[in-house]
Amino acid sequence: MFSVTVRDHMMIAHSFRGEVFGPAQRLHGATYVVDATFRRATLDADGIVVDIGRATEALHAVMAELNYRNLDDEPTFASENTTTEVLARFVADRLADRARAGDLGDGARELDGLVVTLRESHVAWASYERPL
């Protein structure tokens, strides 16, 4: 199995509902350093999983939907906490949509899966892995 990973980041505000979150129930924020991993069993004729340039642009486009925003105001997340886990799934699902739409090139339709990791600090991060 092969994989290619590209990295970007976003800077957002949000708050959480639920006692488990303690002080994070207050409005605060985070820089998420985001790693998107594209997995594929075989390489294409050029010898790649996916074009790193296109993968970087696709990830950046997904980040741009959220970057420099207060996620508490985003209708997309009205019914759930924007935890690191939930945001990892959001990014992975958006990238999957783009891969299927051909934004990552024709070969990307043969991707087997995606993993998205969001690092919220030097001591905590979360991942979501899904098939494509």
Residues that bind a copy of itself (CB under 8 A): 1-9, 11-14, 16-18, 20-24, 26-33, 43, 45-49, 51-53, 56, 67-70, 80-86, 88-89, 105, 120-130
Q: State in angstroms the smallest separation of the CB of 73 from a copy of itself.
A: 8
Q: State in angstroms the smallest separation of the CB of 48 from a copy of itself.
A: 5
Cβ proximity to a copy of itself: between 16 and 58 the closer is: 16
Cβ proximity to a copy of itself: between 103 and 129 the closer is: 129
Rounded Cα distance between 130 and 96, Å, is 9
Cβ proximity to a copy of itself: between 27 and 101 the closer is: 27
The CA–CA distances, whole Å, from 117 to 43, 75, 79, 88, 92 equal 23, 23, 22, 6, 9
Asked whether the CA dihedral 88, 92, 98, 101 is positive or negative, the reply is negative
Rounded Cα distance between 92 and 38, Å, is 10
